[in-house]
């Protein structure tokens, strides 16, 4: 294959590398794919963070590379930190369909990284994104400390984001995670995470062989940790700036991947969520600092326009996915004045649940199903902007709290129809 | 802080109104007369239908000699319709469903039993003595026409108590208030405050051209009348923040009605009376000229203003605003039975006027919903209710709403002899056939078609706010126009004829765009450089949304950081 022909020579065998390094207390996982431009800064932050806050801990970086063509592993090897270079061959299809998180075959990267972390006897495994440019040494401290001190088993990042950044997360993923797993997290797909040794062992026990068809995803880790009774915490890290050529920002793709991943998880691991009732906040470390200004001007008119076009073009698909009363309510939304457009939270929860159910029962080709959710999401986002444009940060948080509460309240609707 | 101050204030521009009689809609207490309790119980139906606002016909205590337009107490609710508390509940429930409510208010006159008139006639020294227009002679204001020519012979009637003549532009039992008297103007403002304080969204102001009289004029549309309306608007705007609606009933030519908008400082809305008969005329003649012509003669209105459009209402289909020839044609076409005529009009409902021709009913609704203005649907017309021309006055079009095939059409549990008017029972329009329940369960029914049309209208602001440009295809039977608002462009094509029609439209300005039919959501061929050919079935119509080739390229502003 062309990829193979152009790829650098594979790194030395893993066993050889590990034998040379010996035991390590902190393992830093860096799944990469063409991140040569940004990875030095990430490694520098890791080194500074470890030196400043965990000076006595033996550490290593585990690089699981998806077949970079830009010498990412070589750049890492030259960075002066102890590195284990592992390589997984992401399927060509996964490389062509650029994922929102930038790393094709993230599942395989996790498996490799977890395996290495166990073999070096790590007390803490911290997985970072190789293309994040806003990382500083403080991130390492905030992420690692709770697990290092055995106060948390899974630490997830909470980023300082403007209220209109990450609306797939804030309006869909976070409310879904709250309702499904019973934990109120801000950024369940925040890219970085930390596992304690306990949790790492538990995960390795449950992940099954690569041939099992199970994807080891961020959300699976989360669900597994919660179901296993492990302590989940959040660490406030500040803004998350990304510089990537391998992440897609094409909305339908992002939606299909992120929500598709969640819906698939729901399907394959329903024992993780079906019985969960209620929710609770998780301990948060550090202080939140939301950005004050919008990253770009949000065009509500266009968002509502996209919803209108969805109503126009996708009703035949929605008829197959949405319950009749849900569809009726969606079609009744008043779209005439974009600035006054509203999308009630309970209706939104039912819409997303109907899509999860439609995915579960395969009522429409799943890719079509997920992509047809986009106009609804854009409409809901417009409604969120309308509702929060003139309110304080606290008001905006309160609005998101209501969204989460609506998902939680409507969970019986989902559970009753799931079986 | 309001998130959409301008948009919220101009809610009426996007609204579809539903005109309803309290007495005719639903009877909540089983006395045979509709009431606010009943109306409240049917709000979900109206919400589901897809209307945005309700226009309530007079609801005040009244001797009902003019169906409530003869008000005896501006501060109450007619006992048959309930109480002020019932009204408040209704209003709150409507608002809970995002339905606005405006109510009829007769400003020009009162009933002769109103305490103001009784005081005025009996005691020339009372504070109410000058509340009405009194004269020792019936020779004043001779240039004013008589409106109810079938019943009245003069605009003056002698009152034996005060021994003087009082002025009335309508029935003799409806004396005109004297708006030259500041106390009357203040009293009317207090009346309005009373209802606005309860949350009412505005008034349909009855008979506004006649408020003030001046010698040597026809006593209509006088500057002094406009001054009164401007004063009312100013006070309401100041005290209620600008989202309360004043809808003028001025049955006048558009150029005269235009003055009721002032400079955007008088009435927010006004009915477009001359359009309505011309729609019927155009469909009968199978010729677009009457409609295009009346819009040619319709002046531009101030930015905050809006026309009110209707096909039928609680009055006769008025033919005052047509020529004698047109009127003769209309009588011939729509009211051959003399019983169908009243004053200068035709007292029939929409469906019977159109011979119950479903295609024509839908076509007229297509016109109603797509021409510039806010449409007003008369209760029952959404299911094609019939009328009873043998009931007196305009009662034939005010019969009980037909909800189901149950007793009294599901309108009332009362004994049928106690109904305020009999339900329609004829074989074509009778409630056993024409009713909400039957149509709700039939996907292809007129009711469901109306819902689809209303939903499609809701999907674009251009219907309520857009400009209109009439196209001039060679085929005169086809009425086509382009509506534009901000980035949206709509194309509406109507076949006025009872036979299939081809049409070639000059759409060169839209070359490269794609018409997408709004009801079936079907994409039509892209518009090229040659005339755009369409064929329409009998009375067929298309509503197209014009999709520009570049649509979808501009950013939303959230996609880079969506996850």
> Active-site residue among B14, B66, B243, B249?
B249
**B168-227 residue pLDDT tens:** 999 999 999 999 999 999 999 999 999 999 999 999 999 899 999 999 999 999 999 999
For position A4, what pLDDT does the model report? 37
What burial class does residue B546 get, using C-beta atoms within 10 Å of its C-beta: 0-12 exposed, 13-18 middle, 19+ buried?
buried
HEC string of B225-275? Answer: HHHHHHHHHHHHHHHHCCCCEEEECCCCCHHHHHHHHCCCCCCCEEECCCH
**A276-314 residue pLDDT tens:** 999 999 999 888 876 656 666 789 999 999 999 888 888
With a pLDDT cut of 90, the percent of chain B lying above it is: 75
For chain A, which residues make up each domain, given as ranges? Answer: 2-285, 300-418
Domains present along chain B, CATH in parentheses: 5-107+182-458 (3.20.20.80), 109-176 (3.90.400.10), 466-547 (2.60.40.1180)
Residue B264 has pLDDT above 70, yes or no: yes
Q: Name, in order, each residue with C-beta under 8 angstroms of B349's C-beta and a sequence gap of 6 or more.
A: B312, B378, B380, B381, B385, B386, B387, B396, B397
For position B317, what pLDDT does the model report? 72
C-alpha distances in Å from residue A88, one per residue of A37, A129, A218: 20, 17, 18
What burial class does residue B333 get, using C-beta atoms within 10 Å of its C-beta: 0-12 exposed, 13-18 middle, 19+ buried?
middle
The CA distance from A295 to B244, in Å, is 37
**B433-451 residue pLDDT tens:** 999 999 988 888 999 999 9
In this structure, CATH architecture of domain A2-285: Alpha-Beta Complex (3.90)
Could you tell me which of A107, A142, A313, A354 has the C-alpha nearest to residue A217? A107
The CA distance from B441 to B49, in Å, is 14
Q: What is the mean pLDDT of residues A63-80?
A: 90
C-alpha distances in Å from residue A68, one per residue of A35, A79, A192: 8, 17, 20
Decide: A13 and A111 in contact? Cβ < 8 Å.
Answer: no
Chain A CA closest to residue B460: A336
pTM of the model: 0.64
E strand or H helix that includes residue A357 = helix A345-361
- Interface contacts (A, B; CB < 8 Å): 96
Chain A CA closest to residue B522: A313
- The confidence band for A96, taking pLDDT boundaries of 50, 70 and 90, is low
B561 in A contact zone (CB under 8 Å): yes
Please judge whether B562 and A254 are an interchain contact, meaning their C-beta atoms are less than 8 angstroms apart: yes
Query: Directed axis angle between helix A411-418 and helix A393-409, to 10°?
Result: 30
Chain B CA closest to residue A173: B563
HEC string of A27-52? Answer: EEEEEECCCCCCHHHHHHHHHHHHHH
| Partner residue opposite B521 with nearest CB, options A296, A315, A340 | A315
Please judge whether A299 and B50 are an interchain contact, meaning their C-beta atoms are less than 8 angstroms apart: no
DSSP assignment of B25-76, as one string?
A: H--SSSSSS--HHHHHHTHHHHHHHT--EEEEPP-S----TTTT-S-S-TTS
Q: What is the mean pLDDT of residues A224-247?
A: 90
**B487-504 residue pLDDT tens:** 789 999 999 999 999 999
Q: Tokens 């007769």: give the residue.
A: B106
Decide: A302 and A327 in contact? Cβ < 8 Å.
Answer: no
For position A295, what pLDDT does the model report? 60
Please judge whether A297 and B557 are an interchain contact, meaning their C-beta atoms are less than 8 angstroms apart: yes
Q: Is the model more confident about A82 or about B61?
A: B61
The CA distance from A347 to A328, in Å, is 10
**B411-421 residue pLDDT tens:** 999 999 999 99
Please judge whether A312 and B459 are an interchain contact, meaning their C-beta atoms are less than 8 angstroms apart: yes
Q: Which of residues 82-121 of B touch A (CB under 8 A)?
A: 98
Please judge whether B556 and A303 are an interchain contact, meaning their C-beta atoms are less than 8 angstroms apart: yes
Chain A residues whose CB is inside 8 A of the B458 CB are: 334-336
For position B166, what pLDDT does the model report? 97
Q: Tokens 């901000």: give the residue.
A: B486
Could you tell me which of B307, B298, B229, B220 has the C-alpha nearest to residue B267? B229
**A194-205 residue pLDDT tens:** 999 999 999 999
Average pLDDT over all residues of chain A? 89
Q: What is the mean pLDDT of residues A176-199?
A: 95
Six token digits for residue B93: 């429930």
| Partner residue opposite B4 with nearest CB, options A169, A296, A340 | A340
Q: What is the mean pLDDT of residues B512-541?
A: 91
The A-side interface with B (CB below 8 A) comprises 100, 161, 164-169, 173, 189, 249-251, 254, 258, 294-299, 301-303, 305-306, 308, 311-313, 315, 331-332, 334-337, 339-340, 378, 381, 386-387, 389-390
Residue B336 has pLDDT above 80, yes or no: no
For position A102, what pLDDT does the model report? 81
Please judge whether B7 and A337 are an interchain contact, meaning their C-beta atoms are less than 8 angstroms apart: yes
B139 in A contact zone (CB under 8 Å): no
- The confidence band for A97, taking pLDDT boundaries of 50, 70 and 90, is low
Chain A residues whose CB is inside 8 A of the B516 CB are: 312
Average pLDDT over all residues of chain B? 91
- Mean pLDDT is lowest, of A6-15, A53-62, A130-139, B398-407, for A6-15
SS3 A267: helix
For position A1, what pLDDT does the model report? 34
- The confidence band for B149, taking pLDDT boundaries of 50, 70 and 90, is confident
Q: What is the mean pLDDT of residues B90-118?
A: 95
The CA distance from A230 to A234, in Å, is 13
Q: What is the mean pLDDT of residues B226-247?
A: 94
- The confidence band for B228, taking pLDDT boundaries of 50, 70 and 90, is very high
| Partner residue opposite A340 with nearest CB, options B7, B48, B455 | B7
Residue B7 has pLDDT above 70, yes or no: no
For position A2, what pLDDT does the model report? 35
Chain B residues whose CB is inside 8 A of the A165 CB are: 558, 561
Residue B139 has pLDDT above 90, yes or no: yes
- The confidence band for A401, taking pLDDT boundaries of 50, 70 and 90, is very high
Annotated active-site residue B206? The verdict is yes
Please judge whether A305 and B487 are an interchain contact, meaning their C-beta atoms are less than 8 angstroms apart: yes
Chain B residues whose CB is inside 8 A of the A249 CB are: 559-560, 562
B7 in A contact zone (CB under 8 Å): yes
Annotated active-site residue B416? The verdict is no
The CA distance from B41 to B94, in Å, is 10
SS3 A107: helix
Chain B CA closest to residue A249: B560
Q: Tokens 């369909």: give the residue.
A: A97
> Active-site residue among B86, B104, B176, B206?
B206
Decide: B365 and B453 in contact? Cβ < 8 Å.
Answer: yes
Q: Is the model more confident about B278 or about A4?
A: B278
Decide: B340 and B347 in contact? Cβ < 8 Å.
Answer: yes
Q: Is the model more confident about B273 or about B183?
A: B183
Residue B512 has pLDDT above 70, yes or no: yes
Please judge whether B516 and A381 are an interchain contact, meaning their C-beta atoms are less than 8 angstroms apart: no
Please judge whether B555 and A258 are an interchain contact, meaning their C-beta atoms are less than 8 angstroms apart: no
- Min distance A164 CA to chain B CA atoms (Å): 7
Please judge whether A298 and B1 are an interchain contact, meaning their C-beta atoms are less than 8 angstroms apart: no
- ipTM comes to 0.74
For position B334, what pLDDT does the model report? 76
Please judge whether B555 and A165 are an interchain contact, meaning their C-beta atoms are less than 8 angstroms apart: no
Q: What is the mean pLDDT of residues A112-117?
A: 94
């Amino acid at each position: 294959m062309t990829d193979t022909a152009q790829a650098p020579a594979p790194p030395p065998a893993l066993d050889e590398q590990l034998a040379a390094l010996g035991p390590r207390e902190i393992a830093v996982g860096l799944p990469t794919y063409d991140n040569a431009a940004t990875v030095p800064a990430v490694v520098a932050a890791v080194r500074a963070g470890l030196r400043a806050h965990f000076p006595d801990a033996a550490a290593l970086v585990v690089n699981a590379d998806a077949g970079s063509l830009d010498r990412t592993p070589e750049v890492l090897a030259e960075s002066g930190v102890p590195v284990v270079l592992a390589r997984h061959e992401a399927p060509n299809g996964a490389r062509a369909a650029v994922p929102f998180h930038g790393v094709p075959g993230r599942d395989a990267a996790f498996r490799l990284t977890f395996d290495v972390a166990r073999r070096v006897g790590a007390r803490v495994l911290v997985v970072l994104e190789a293309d994040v440019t806003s990382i500083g040494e403080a991130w390492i401290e905030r992420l690692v400390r709770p697990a290092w001190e055995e106060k948390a088993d899974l630490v997830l990042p909470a980023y300082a984001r403007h209220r209109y950044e990450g609306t797939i997360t804030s309006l869909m993923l976070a409310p879904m995670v709250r309702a499904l797993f019973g934990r109120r997290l801000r950024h369940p797909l925040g890219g970085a995470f930390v596992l304690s040794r306990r949790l790492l062992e538990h995960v390795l026990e449950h992940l099954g062989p690569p041939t099992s068809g199970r994807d080891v995803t961020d959300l699976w880790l989360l669900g597994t940790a919660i179901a296993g009774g492990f302590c989940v915490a959040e660490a406030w890290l500040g803004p998350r700036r990304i510089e990537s050529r391998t992440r897609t920002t094409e909305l339908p793709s992002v939606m299909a991947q992120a929500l598709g991943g969640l819906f698939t998880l729901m399907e394959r691991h329903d024992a993780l969520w079906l019985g969960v009732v209620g929710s609770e906040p998780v301990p948060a470390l550090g202080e939140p600092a939301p950005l004050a200004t919008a990253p770009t001007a949000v065009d509500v008119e266009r968002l509502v326009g996209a919803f209108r076009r969805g109503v126009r073009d996708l009703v035949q698909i929605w008829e197959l996915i949405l319950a009749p009363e849900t569809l009726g309510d969606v079609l009744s939304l008043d779209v005439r004045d974009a600035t006054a457009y509203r999308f009630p939270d309970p209706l939104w929860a039912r819409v997303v649940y109907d899509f999860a159910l439609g995915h579960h029962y395969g009522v429409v080709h799943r890719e079509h199903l997920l992509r047809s959710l986009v106009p609804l999401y854009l409409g809901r986002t417009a409604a969120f902007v309308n509702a929060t444009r003139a309110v304080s940060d606290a008001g905006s948080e309160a609005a998101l709290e209501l969204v989460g509460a609506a998902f939680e309240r409507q969970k019986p609707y989902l559970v009753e129809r799931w079986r | 802080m309001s998130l959409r101050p301008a948009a919220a204030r101009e809610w009426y521009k996007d609204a579809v109104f539903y005109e309803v009689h309290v007495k005719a809609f639903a009877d909540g207490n089983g006395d045979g007369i509709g009431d606010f309790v009943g109306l409240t119980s049917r709000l979900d139906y109206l919400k589901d239908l897809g209307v945005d606002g309700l226009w309530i016909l007079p609801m005040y205590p009244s001797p009902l000699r003019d169906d409530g337009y003869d008000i005896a107490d501006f501060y109450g609710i007619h006992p048959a319709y309930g109480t002020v508390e019932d009204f408040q509940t209704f209003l709150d429930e409507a608002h809970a469903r995002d339905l606005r409510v405006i109510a009829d208010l007769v400003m020009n006159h009162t009933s002769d039993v109103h305490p103001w008139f009784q005081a005025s006639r009996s005691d020339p020294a009372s504070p109410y003595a000058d509340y009405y227009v009194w004269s020792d002679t019936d020779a004043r204001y001779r240039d004013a026409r008589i409106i109810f020519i079938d019943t009245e012979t003069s605009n003056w009637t002698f009152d034996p108590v005060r021994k003087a003549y009082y002025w009335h532009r309508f029935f003799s039992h409806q004396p005109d208030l004297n708006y030259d008297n500041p106390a009357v103007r203040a009293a009317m403002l207090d009346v309005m405050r009373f209802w606005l304080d309860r949350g009412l969204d505005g008034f349909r102001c009855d008979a506004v051209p006649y408020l003030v009289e001046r010698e040597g004029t026809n006593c209509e549309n006088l500057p002094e009348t406009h001054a009164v309306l401007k004063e009312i608007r100013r006070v309401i705007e100041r005290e209620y923040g600008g989202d309360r609606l004043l809808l003028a009933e001025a049955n006048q030519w558009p150029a005269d009605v235009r003055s009721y908008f002032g400079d955007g400082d008088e009435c927010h809305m006004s009915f477009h009376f001359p359009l309505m008969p011309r729609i019927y005329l155009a469909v009968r003649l199978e010729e677009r000229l009457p409609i295009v012509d009346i819009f040619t003669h319709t002046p531009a209105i101030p930015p905050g203003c809006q026309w009110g459009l209707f096909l039928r209402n609680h009055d006769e289909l008025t033919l005052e605003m047509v020529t004698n020839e047109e009127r003769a044609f209309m009588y011939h076409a729509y009211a051959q039975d003399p019983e169908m005529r009243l004053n200068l009009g035709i007292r029939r409902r929409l469906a019977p006027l159109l011979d119950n021709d479903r295609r024509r009913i839908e076509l007229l609704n297509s016109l109603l919903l797509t021409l510039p203005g806010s449409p007003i649907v008369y209760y029952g017309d959404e299911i094609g209710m019939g009328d009873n021309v043998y009931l007196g006055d305009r009662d034939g079009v005010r019969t009980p709403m037909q909800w189901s095939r149950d007793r009294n059409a599901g309108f009332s549990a009362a004994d049928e002899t106690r109904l305020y008017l009999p339900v329609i029972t004829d074989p074509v329009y009778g409630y056993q056939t024409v009713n909400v329940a039957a149509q709700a369960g039939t996907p292809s029914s007129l009711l469901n078609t109306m819902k689809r049309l209303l939903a499609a209208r809701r999907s674009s602001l251009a219907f309520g706010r857009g400009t209109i440009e009439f196209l001039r295809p060679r085929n005169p039977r086809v009425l086509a126009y382009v509506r534009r608002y901000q980035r949206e462009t709509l194309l509406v094509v109507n076949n006025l004829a009872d036979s299939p029609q081809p049409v070639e439209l000059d759409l060169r300005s839209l070359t490269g765009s794609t018409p997408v039919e709004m009801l079936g959501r079907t994409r039509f061929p892209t518009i090229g450089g040659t005339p755009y050919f369409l064929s329409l079935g009998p009375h067929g119509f298309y509503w197209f949304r014009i999709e520009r080739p570049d649509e979808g390229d501009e950013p939303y502003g959230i996609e880079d950081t969506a996850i």
